[in-house]
Copies of this chain bind each other. A is one copy, B any other.
Amino acid sequence: MQRTDFSKMACSIARTLDVIGEPWSPLILRDVWVGLTRFEQLQADLGISRKVLTERLNHLVDQGVLDRRPYDLRPRYEYILTEKGAELVDLLMVMTGWGDKWLAGEAGPPVLYRHHACGEVSRVDLRCTHCGEPMHANDIDPLPGPGAASQ
C-alpha cells in the first residue's frame, strides 16, 4: 500500500479521515444530501472522473455511509445516506460555517441554511452536550480515553 492507511491509528480523526478523507468524498456526500443521488448526476455536477467516482461510491457504501439501491427494473441505482452518513453532514455543516466565515469574501456565502425549528436562516454553533455552553478549541483539555493507544 502506497498511500498511508489511517484506519489503524488510535485517533478518531484519523479513522474518520479513512472513511471520508479522500478527495471528493465530502463533496459526494454533500450532493447526495441535497438530492443528487445518481451516478450521472454526481458525475455531471462535480466534474469528477468516472473512475474515481466509482471508487469513492464503492468505498462509501463499504463503510456504511451510503446505501446503494435500485430505483428501476433496469440496472439503475441511487445512493442514499444511511444514518451513519447523515451524521457526517454535521461535519459538512461545520465546514460550511468555517468556509463562509474565512473564505467566502465579498460575495458572501454561496448557500444559506434555514433552520426548521425557528424558521430563520442561521448557522451552527458548537455547544457542550453536558452544560450547553460554547465549546471550542480553547475551551477544552484532551485527556487519554479508554481506547487510547496502549497495546
Interface centre among A112, A138, A143, by most chain B C-beta atoms within 10 angstroms, is: A112
| A34 CB–B CB distance under 8 Å | yes
A110: min CB distance to chain B, Å: 4
Structural contact, A94 and B102, CB atoms closer than 8 A: no
Copies in the complex: 2
Q: Which of B84, B135, B142 contacts A124 (CB 8 A)?
A: B135
Structural contact, A122 and B130, CB atoms closer than 8 A: yes
| A140 CB–B CB distance under 8 Å | yes
Chain B residue numbers with a CB within 8 Å of A108 are 145-147
Known contacts A110-B147, A146-B109; A90 and B130 CB within 8 A of each other: no
Structural contact, A110 and B143, CB atoms closer than 8 A: no
Q: Which of B16, B47, B98, B140 contacts A95 (CB 8 A)?
A: B16
Q: What would 13 more interface pairs be, CB under 8 Å, given A6-B27, A34-B142, A109-B147?
A: A3-B23, A12-B97, A15-B99, A16-B95, A33-B137, A90-B137, A93-B135, A93-B137, A112-B144, A113-B141, A116-B139, A117-B131, A118-B128
